[in-house]
Amino acid sequence: MKIQYDKLVDAKGLKCPHPLMLVKQCFKNLEKGQIVLLEATDPHTDLDLQVWCDRFHHKIISTKELENVFLFWIKS
């Protein structure tokens, strides 16, 4: 199943906390209910991302790993 998204955040090659910082910046320009696809290569991205989503009431609706790239679909 392919998940539609509104914005793509490419954080490949960046270490935490930079992927999260890029997502936070992207969310400033989103409307409620829009979806961001985050592509990251740092395996620790999920920890920071989950804490941030819980704190600010966003939801990780799906995750996937594909050829050492971690994909996160996040709903605002």
Residue of 14, 16, 60, 71 marked catalytic: 16
Distance CA 33, CA 41 (A): 26
Q: Clarify whether 26 is annotated catalytic.
A: no
Interacting residues of 41 by C-beta distance below 8 A, sequence separation 6+: 11, 12, 13, 14, 68, 69, 70
Q: How far apart are the first and last CA of the chain?
A: 21
The residues annotated as belonging to the active site are 16
